[in-house]
Structures are given as C-alpha cells and as structure tokens.
Chain A
C-alpha cells in the first residue's frame, strides 16, 4: 500500500497534465472542459498478458493508470466512472513502437558545431530526442491507427546518432510527452534507417565526408568507442592526479557516450542488413555494450549466427513485395535469393523467436506504415502465434526499454495504455478501433490509390486455335486493361476466362491466366506480342514448359454469330467467382547455406579423399607429376605418390585424364566487400578493415569457385594513397563469415599511387610529388606515435598519467614500419615505383607487393633488389594515361629480373579464369607452363604470407585443390571440382544437376508471387512523395546519389546505372579495369 502511494506520487510528477497543472498551457478561453479520468471498459475480451485471455472482462482505469482488471462479474465500477461497452472488442496492452525514427538532421548539424563537438559530424551522441521537434500529429495518428500507444523515438542522422526518448503518442497541447526508461543510444553503420530495400548502400554517399563506406563506418565506430573509453579513463586520471597532466579538453560527444561505453546505457544498432547485425554483435562483444538491434528483416538469411549473438532484435515487417512477374520477360532478372527472401521473409520474426531471440516488432522501414496490419497478418500466417505477436508488440518492447513495471500488460498499477480491436488482432476483417493512452481514448482512421493509361497496339478481337484444334476468341481491351478468353459457339461447354495481373506496353504484354483458357493445365504466365497483324501468346507453365499460340484478327461477323450475347454478358461480369489459383500465403522454402542462389542444403564439410591417377601440377620445383595419387585428410594433403594403396576410409575420385592443380589464388580482388570498396574521403584510411565487411554471400564467390579460385586477397580500393587493411580469405561458400579469413596470412594494407589518388579535388595530394611528401609525413607520425607509447609504458608512475590515446590509423602505419604489416601498393609508373622503394628503404621496411605494376618491367631490377613482389594484369592496358605503356610481357620480364610475380584479376570476371590468364605468360614471355601456373598459385601465396599453407601440392599443406578436365592453361579445360581445405565447395556435375530443380523452384516461386500480386492490399503503392516531412526522414529527394567517375561524363548516377541495366550489365560488378573501385569516386 505504501509503495503504491509513492508510486502514485511519482506518477503525478511525471504526468501532471490535468487542467491547470501545466504551467505552459494557455489559459482556457471559454468554458473549461470537464476531464474526469475515471473509465471502465466492460464485457470485452481482454489479453491481460500475451498468454492470458479473459472473456467478458472489465478494465477499470483512473488518472491514466489501471485500477483493476478481471471478469466483469468480479469488478465493481465506482460511481462517476464513464462506462464503455467493450462487447465484441478485443483489448490488449497498448502497443509499443520500439524504434520510431525521427529526422534529426538539423539538430545534429547544430550540435556538430557546438563546443566539445566531435571532429566528425557523424559522431553526435549528444543529440537528444528530447530536443527534437515533437512527433507530428500525422505520425502519431498513423501509429495510433495501428494500435501503438507509446514509442521509443530516435534521431536518424549520422553514425552516433544520439539518445532516444520514450514518448506517449497521445495528442498533447505542447507536443509529445516523454517518460523515463532506457531508450538508449542509437548508432548505425551509416546506412539510412529507412532504407527502402536490402543492400541499399546509397546512404554511404550522403556526403563526401568520412566515412563513405561500411568499412569506414565500422572503423569510425571502433575508434570512437576506444576514444570514449580513453576519455573516461583520462577524466578519472585527471581527477585523481591533476599534477603533471594536461587538463582534458571539452569533449561533449564522447562524454555523452560515457554511460553507454560503461554498459550502463542501452545501445541500439541500426542494422539494416543481416551482415550489419553480425557486425553490431561483434562490436558489442568487443566493447561489452548493452546492445540491441534494429534489424532489417532479412535476419533469417543468417539465422544461426544471428541467434547465437543472443541480442534482442527489433524486427521490421518490411517484407519484399512480389516483383511484377506477370510475363516471363519480367521475371528474367529475379534471382532465387530475392524470391526465396520474398517467400521466407514473413516468417522472419517467428524463426527468430523459435531460435530464442527476444523479438519486438516495429513499423520502421515500412514503405507505408499502414501496411503493418497486412504484414503482421502475413507474419502470423508464416508461423507467428497470436500470443507471440502480442508479446512482440507489448511485453517484449516493454522489457527492451526497461519498462516492464509500467508497460506491456494490463494489470493493476500499469499505465492505462490499451489497444482495442473489433475482432482477433490483425485478422482480415478486423481493425483497430481505438487506443487508450495514459487513460485517454483515441479513435483510429484510413486512405486511397492510382490509375494508369495504355496504348497497346494489338488491342481487339483475335481468334486462336488451341493444340487440340478447339478455338477461342481473345478480347483485349487496352483501356480497361482486360484480357478475356471467350469460348466459341462450337465449344459452348467452356465459359469465358479473364486474365489477371495484366501488363501492357505498346507492343507487348504479359498476364496470368488459368490454363484452361488455352487448353493446358494449371496457371499460365503468358507473354503477348503484337507481331505484325498477328498476336502471339507464349504460355509458360509452372513447371517451366512453354508453348506458343498464334492468333489472327477475328472476323467481326463470325464473332457476332458465335457469342455476341454471351460475351456481352460475360464482359460485364466480374472475373470468375472462384479464381483458379488460390495459395494465399507465401510458399515455404528451406533455408540454404548461404541463403539463396547456389546455396547448399547444409554447410559443406571436410572429406577424406584420394585423387587417383591425376596429372598433378605441384607448383613446386617437382613440376608436373603424371599419373599420381593425392590423399587428403582433415583438410590437409597427407600423401602424394604413384599407385598409393587406397585407405578404406577415403572417398576415391577417379582422375584419369584429368589434371589436379593447387587452388588458384587471386592476389587482387574486390569480390564480396560489402558497402563500398573505397573509403576515399581521407588521404589516409589505414584504420579501415576489409575484414569488417566480408560478404560471404556474394554470388561472385560461387562463380569464382567454379573457375578454380580458392583464395583471394580482398583489397581496399585505390582512391587514396593509404587505403584500408586487406583481408585474405579462403572461398568457403556456405560457411559462416567467421570461417573465411586466413588468420595466418601476413597482415597487409592497400596503398595507391598515381592518377587515382589525386583525383579527389580539393585535398592533398594532387601530384605524385605530393604523394611522396604525404607518405613520408605519415610514416614519421607513426614512428613518433610508437615512440610515445613506449615512453609511456616505461614510466614507473604511468598510472598517474593520462595514457596515450590509441589511434587505429597510426597503429596500422606503425605496424608497417615495424615490418608487421605489408603494403600492397597500386602503382603503375616507374617514377612512383622507385619513390616508394626509396621511402621504404629509408624507413627500413620491405614492400609486400606492387599491384598492377604495369611499368614494372622498366624498373624490374630495382624492384628485385628491394625484394618486393609484383602482381599484375596479364594484358590489360590503355584504360587510362598511366597504363598506355603497359605491355603484356611485363610479368615475364619482371620475373626474368628475379621479381616474385603473380597475375591477379581485380575483377569478378577475370577471377573466374585465372588459369587462362596464367596461360598468357606462355603466350607473352614464353614461360614454361608450370612457371606460368605458379603466377596464380604458389607465387601469390608467398606474396600473401601463406606460402607455407597453400599454393602448391605438397604434403602437409592445406587441401586446396582444383580438378580440371584437361590442361589447366587451356580454355578447353573445365573446372570440375574445387576443394578448399578438404571441403568440396564446387562440383560441376552437382552444379549441372542442380540447375533444373533450381529453375523449377524459381518458376514455382514466381507463379506464387504472381498470384499473390493480385491481392488487393499488395497492390496499393503510395508514391514516396506522399510521405510526411517529419516521418522517417531521409526521403529519396534529400538523398544525393553515389557519384562515380563516369557519372561526370554521363550525367546523373541514375543515367549511368540505368545504362548498365539497359545493356544487361550487373552494375554491382561493373568496374573499369584496374580502377579498384575508383570509378566510385567523385566530383
């Protein structure tokens, strides 16, 4: 009783809103409204908690709090209470929106200019949602209409975006009211919180300021977290021992994060992709953060790894909508991954819950917030139980926000927040009728859609002969967008059939129709062509068989005779009452590894194998061994020899007539780097790590495995002199990303010289001589940095002094000078090559590899003397000025001078046939074939510091092997099998066998998607321009697009990318040769 009194007291302080209690309210001009906050809802079905339902219950509320709840017969309603009849209503605890994203750009900009601001305008944790303009009436109304009563709102701008606030969604005279709880800090990976689709990295390009890539964002996150920690430590040291220490400078940004870095404030990560979610988990672990995740909706694609993080996830219901698949042409571009994502996405929440993840639901990321009920219904059809749904909207977010004592259930002492539905929650024919917020009720409300014009030239009546000789009439009305198959008089047993899902352009169209209309079975997806006077229809069945029909203009008289009256009747009729196709839900598909195209049904595992009787290219001085056996066990090559006895426990792979080579290694790859290859915004970005952004699901990996590649050096781009840290990975397609990096590889970093690095205008350096000065200065800084650290460590009284700040940028540079990290340097011209050698000699370290190095043949002797490796293209040239002197004999000539040489791809395409690239060292330079193959096997292995593990076929080495149908230097050799550490990651026979089933599955999903497209609530697509300005911000219009080099020649980014699309080029892999993603730089 006492505790309750205290409780009510504090409540009064927090919610003193009654009548004149708010000092800032305007005086009442006229009669005062009465405000008796004493209400009872009777005879309702009440979910007091997700699992407890009371039929015919009564809820009693007083001053915004729940007084009592129970069966109506047990509750006595005091006099003066307003009684509401809840008969037929379902009442639940008020829904909680755990991640309402508000536009904070203006405030963030202001804060970034205030005293104590961080140097980087993306770091504004001091922004507080409480200081933002109140949530607009429209947004509150939208949310209430969906049943939401309270929201945790967050700022949207930057990477460290600021702290959130928990806000009531009622209509308040002075805007919104915030209440206590731990909304926490909101941080991101630089992507927009309302990204409209997956893989949308456009926000990287918001401004030319650091960072512009995901890896840059992770680096900034990591450095800032370190800084926040260091800041807290320095303040402590200063407070205890001011003498001899510099007083800490103002650092409002870092101070604002002090609670979070200590684990005392929640940190919500905006992870719009599942890879971001894993990154968030990694950072949370590294810095022991109290983390939760605003997911992207694609978590099911990485379910096991994400569930293993054990972090609460706020799940959006932004399911991919079916693409327009009415005609086979339109489905050409739709990948299995997209279709499977479409099919599986609604089950995301249910799958996460089943995997033990605490799940809350959010309306964030929905293109239209009002599609939430429809999406929730789909989630339920996909396995989310009613109790789970309610929990994800009530108890789960309440617990996430640390407010389980006030929110989430209907019981005495909880806030009087209620959500009322006129039937089962989000059922097809029920809707949210009202919500109660802090004891006040609010009604809910609704909206509209758009038309389209048409000019199809083949409109009219056509007669069609079916395979069985029967005739049909097709009537196409372009204006009404209808296509009707009429029965003829001769075939009167048939009724007319209307097509659905119709698309028509000037000459072609597509539609879906019941197969019966064309004398076939099942639903058909059809393409329509106005081919001269004829009309042709190509019909594709769900199993992928296609049949063509030709139709000619129907004789007007004949038609009249045939079915004049009948058609008149039919055409006014609605489409057939029972549509032939029903499945209302998205089909279930098994999760694969990786999810989507070319995924395996389980993660591939190691096998013990004997490769029997192969021509073995060892890439050792032993050269080629004919008719030789190779035995692998536990991922290691254990025996090589002729006619080896076959151990009983190994699988035999017959290699007669086949060639076995080491797995190919690409010393320069940009495959599978998520969220941008270049952090080009600063001249030195040695702190960024490609390791942070490996995308193990990039289909490029699979294609490269199919060309015999087993290992790649993932490099940062070449837009700045000092780029990011590299990542050496084995291509473990199907395995979690954590398994990919080769941990024993020599740490490396990308440097770049020449044209690319001086392209960004308005920054140092702009010349090759400036590049030299810049590098020299950076190395000096690193030397001094390390010296200061050593000096501090040597102090006996170091505890009394502020420690040197850890600077990840200088750490990496210091490692270079110490010889612990090797440089892979993009370079072309001889002068700059010699410059870097001179500098390295001066600082006393050795350069790892010169990359591209197309003028290397001019100074090969100097490169050999220094001891650097060279990794070049076989024959690319002329794509820019500094490669006009490139010659294809470069590799062989440099090798002739004693340089360790490799050929690389720098391209997702070339990386698929590095074997034939190696053959060019025979063509140009006359190398013996075995030495040529070494350019893509042992040589790059040595260059990456993994020559002791891979790159050759020797006992004790990793079983990275490729089986070829013939001489691997011939284009006629097909890669038959690719083995990575004893696990078969590609098999051409399996690949061929999987094609038909994969295409069948794709077609089945397309048919399902095309059928569902017809459902009314799927169709409405409001224009983005309808969005309210205060809503989830970052509207398309305000978002500058990424800029690319070629863009300046071709106009806008859209023009450039759409030109690629038109020409059938996947823009994601379209990168000019040797440009290292530098086409992505700007202005």
Chain B
C-alpha cells in the first residue's frame, strides 16, 4: 500500500514538478581510453592536441598524449579498457557554470520552488549546497549542454551567503558537494546615481541610501573582524554563526565573490575589500575595463556574467558585452565566463564562451573561461578544469567544434562516471516521436474537434 501510494505521489508530482528520473552514474570500474580525439586540455598556453588520447581509471585521468594510447610512463594501456574511437570529435574538460542558481530554483514563477534568497540583508551563514535539489529537472538539461560542475550562488541581501561548487551527478546533496564553502557572495550597492526611470529617488536620496548601505557593510564586517579576534583569543566565546562563516574570508584564505557591475562599484568594492585584507573576485564586471589597473594591482579575477547580453547603456558599442571577456583577458586579468541567466539556460554556457571567442578572445582561452579559470577560482584548480594527468576524469566529448552551436555533447564523464545524456526533455521527445511514428501498433493522434461545442 505504502509503495503504491508513493508511486502515485511520485507520478502525481511528476505532473507538477517532474523530478529527474535519470539515474545517477555509478563509480568508474573499468578503464576508459578515448583515442583519436582533438583534445582541448585548457592548460594555459597549451596547443590543441590533434590526434590525442586520454586514459581514465578510477575516476582519474591517468594518461594524456598523442597517437597510440600509452600509459603516463610509456607503459602499455590497460587491456580491459573500454576504447572509444573519437575520430573527428573534440574532447574538453567538463564545463563549470559559475555564479549560477542551478538547483536552488526550479521555476521563477512558483515561489515554493525558489530557494535562492534568505531573509534580511546579511546572511553569510547560509550555504548554497544545502538547498540544491539533486533531482532538479534543470540539472540533466544543463549536463546535456556540457555543464558538469556548478558554482552555485545564493542571492539577495547585502551578504547573500556561501557559494558552493557542486558536481552535477549524485543521489544526495552530499554526493553533489565538491567545495561546500567556496567563498562568500556579497552584493555591492550601486555607486552611481540611477536615472529617474529607475527610481523616484533623487540624487541626494540615492546617495544617502548608498551611504547607509556602505556603512552597514562596514559595521557588519567590523563586527565580524572583532568577533574573529575575540574568538581566537577565547574559544569559549558564544558562537555567532554569521561571523563564524566569515572568519577565513576575512583573512583572505577563502575568496569574497563580489557582485558588481559598474566601474564605480568594482572600484569601490575592491578598495573596500582589499583594505580589509580580503581576496575579492568580481562577479558581473561589465564596467571592469575602466578599472583594469586596479584589478591588476590587486590581482582580482572577474567572472563575466552574460556575454550574450545587452549593452548596459544606449551609447555602448553594440558588441560591448561580446567583447568584454577579450578586453579584460588581453590586459592579463583572469576571466571566467558565466551565463548570468536563469539556470534553465545553463546549457548555453558554451555559447557565451563562443561569442566571446568570436569577438576577440582566443578560442582556447574562451574554453578555459568555462573550465580552468572557474576551477581555480573555487580552489580546485589542482583537480578540475584541465585535462592533465592526475586530475579528475571530468570530460566532455563533442561531435564537432565545442564552440559551434551546431555541435553537441556526445559523451560526458564526471569523476570517471559515465553520464547518461538524457533528461526530462529527451524523454518527452522520445515519447512524442512515438505519437507520430509509432514503433508499436498503438497509434495516437490528437483531434481538433472531438468534443464539439454547441453552435453559438
């Protein structure tokens, strides 16, 4: 009975919020050899390997090279390996969707599916990974677009909470968590007067509001610093969960992700955070080219949000968002690319990178901006983001140039686990293909006039 009931409930729910029915991939048991692939290792400065191979064992990359597959020390490859002939295909590291809300929200318009924003202005204590729904329908769809890892951001308030790096495969949140505490996300206030269209407040009122907010930031972080010192001196001190979470952000051992768009915001945020000894990463960054010197002086990376987005202002060049990553990267700034979009569109992450490449960013750098760089920003650059020996076997096989929209992901491994390239959407596709070209004898067509209404 219980079983029946639960089946009923799950079916019923699937009508409302179809939960992903894709089974998480199990751990890798047999070695895998992918050969004759065009390999984009995403290693800085490395050339594309034309006829390359990788050998994956126990979830790790154990060998990478050109021509016939051999072990990292030149030994013969494992004989029990599954061999994949990838002739004409491209191999890249798994993509990392940065500054996303994947898993925290299913659909914007149903409040009960939205766990992005905690109440109030300061909530550093909340951590994104805790709320990620491993069965979100959005996750398999993102995977089909090559997104295997996600740096999930809480949103809202002044201090939004803790960002978490998750892997998009697993039964539970614990399975998903890679770096639960990747850094603290804050929302920097606007520093420029908004035109009247945006607000009824005049310049003075806006400035007053800005000062109040900046003062609130100062007060909060002053208190957090005092707490940190006091707590170090007296471990018996009552624990403040908010400040506790900030301790290693304050000393710069974990990054501070600062959402800031305009040059003024970026400038102000960097001056503020570095003065306090923190390690800022700018998220958004549209105005960053105007403060490149400051970004360089303090070695601040930028997560560019939304290459496929509109210029902010009427006078900006039509391609200003397209060229932004190139304009920053050519100055020597570490650039990661994020969609800046709703998480349902995370599958298009690579299209943002492609547009950046089309408008001046070297292609391999554009790929690195969704692989190596975000991995480094999360502190897992030694495990993820590049195809080198000793790293996690987190890879994508593409049936064409990964930056071409026409190409698709045709193979994916996450920590060596073979990811099933299926989703609620592929299931629906298969279902309705049956309607039009039934494989069985039963056929179905939709009629337009089965229930005739009474003539008016």
Residues of chain A having any CB pair with chain B under 8 Å? 196-197, 199-200, 323-324, 327-330, 332-338, 450, 452, 455, 505-508, 527, 529-532, 538, 548, 596-597, 699-700, 702-703, 706, 755, 776, 779-780, 830, 834, 837-838, 841-842, 857-862, 865-866, 875-881, 884-889, 893, 896-897, 908-909, 912-913, 916, 919-920, 922-923, 929, 969-974, 991, 995, 998, 1002, 1021, 1023-1024, 1036, 1039, 1041, 1045, 1049, 1054, 1057-1058, 1060-1069, 1072-1073
- Given A332-B313, A842-B453, A971-B405, A1072–B108 Cβ distance below 8 Å? yes
- Could you tell me if B199 and A1058 are in contact, using CB atoms closer than 8 angstroms? yes
Min Cβ gap B143→A in Å is 14
**Smallest CB-CB separation from B207: which chain A residue?**
A505
B263 touches A332 (CB 8 A): yes
A862 in contact with B448 given A508-B267, A887-B428, A923-B406 (CB within 8 Å): yes
Residue pair A893, B199 in contact (C-beta under 8 Å):
no
- Per the bound structure, the CA–CA distance linking A862 and B449 in Å amounts to 10
The distance in angstroms between the C-alpha atoms of A314 and B381, with both chains bound, is 66
A930 to chain B minimum Cβ distance, whole angstroms, is 13
Note all chain A residues with C-beta closer than 8 A to B428: 857, 885, 887
Tell me, yes or no, whether B204 is within 8 Å of chain A by CB. Answer: yes
Which of B57-65, B219-227, B343-351, B414-422 forms contacts with chain A?
A: B343-351
- Cβ-defined contact, A923 with B407, below 8 A: yes
> CB distance A507 to B447 under 8 Å?
no
Q: Which residues of A contact B315 (CB under 8 A)?
A: 334-337, 597, 998, 1002
Contact of A330 among B192, B200, B429, B435 (CB under 8 A): B192
**B206 smallest CB distance to A (angstroms):** 8
Given A529-B294, A841-B448, A1064 contacting B107 (CB threshold 8 A): no
Q: Known contacts being A699-B314, A879-B108, is A970 close to B268, with CB within 8 Å?
A: no
**A-B residue pairs in contact (CB < 8 Å), sample of 12:** A196-B196, A327-B264, A337-B314, A702-B318, A776-B453, A875-B347, A887-B428, A916-B351, A920-B405, A923-B406, A1057-B194, A1058-B199
B445 and A861 form a contact (CB under 8 A): yes
Q: From residue B423, how far is it (CB to closest CB) to chain A in Å?
A: 9
Given contacts A333-B313, A780-B456, contact A838 B268 (CB under 8 A): no
Distance to closest chain B CB from A596 (angstroms): 7
Residues on A with beta carbons closer than 8 Å to the beta carbon of B134 = none
Inter-chain contact A971/B264, CB cutoff 8 Å: no
Cross-interface CB contact of B351 among A505, A507, A702, A971, cutoff 8 Å: A971
Contact of A861 among B191, B354, B446 (CB under 8 A): B446
Top 4 nearest A-B pairs by Cβ distance? Answer: A1064-B261, A878-B344, A329-B264, A335-B314
A505 and B210 contact, CB distance less than 8 A: yes
CB 8 Å contact bits of B415-447 with A (1 = contact, 0 = none): 000000000010011001101100000000111
B132 within 8 A of A: no
Tell whether, in the assembled complex, residue A332 and residue B425 are in contact, meaning their CB atoms are under 8 Å apart. Answer: no
Known: A324-B193, A1054-B200. A529 touches B342 (CB 8 A): no
| Contacts known (A837-B448, A916-B405); A200 close to B196, Cβ less than 8 A | yes
> Interface digits, B252-291 against A, CB 8 Å rule (1 contact, 0 not)?
0000000101111101100110110000000010110010
In the complex, chain B residues 94-108 whose Cβ is within 8 Å of any chain A Cβ: 106-108
Chain A residue with Cβ nearest B109? A880
Interface of B is mostly: loop
Bound-complex Cα distance A1049 to B141 (A)? 27
Question: Does the CB pair B196–A529 fall under 8 Å?
Answer: no
Asked whether B193 lies within 8 Å of A330 as measured between CB atoms, the reply is yes
Which residues does chain A contribute within 8 Å of B207, judged by CB atoms? 505
- A1061 contacts B198, CB within 8 Å? yes
A971 near B404: Cβ-Cβ < 8 Å: yes
A880 and B108 within 8 A (CB): yes
Contact across chains for B268 and A878 when beta carbons are under 8 A apart: no
Name which residue of chain B comes closest to A1068, CB basis: B197
Stretch from B175-183, B304-312, B325-333 contacting the other chain: B304-312
Query: Using Cβ atoms and an 8 Å threshold, which residues of chain A touch B16?
Result: 881
| Residues of A with C-beta under 8 A to B396 | none
Give the CA-CA distance A529 to B297 in the complex, in Å: 13
Partner of A909, one of B309, B407, B449: B309
Chain B 317-342 interface mask (CB, 8 Å, partner A; 1/0): 11100000000000000000000001
Does B240 count as interface, using CB distance less than 8 angstroms? Answer: no
A1062 and B107 contacting across the interface, CB-CB below 8 Å: no
Question: CB distance A838 to B357 under 8 Å?
Answer: no
Contact with A along B211-223 (1 / 0, CB 8 A): 1001100100000
Note all chain B residues with C-beta closer than 8 A to A531: 271, 274-275, 294, 297
Selected from B17, B211, B314, the residue in CB contact (under 8 A) with A505 is: B211
A1058 to B261 Cα, complex, angstroms: 13
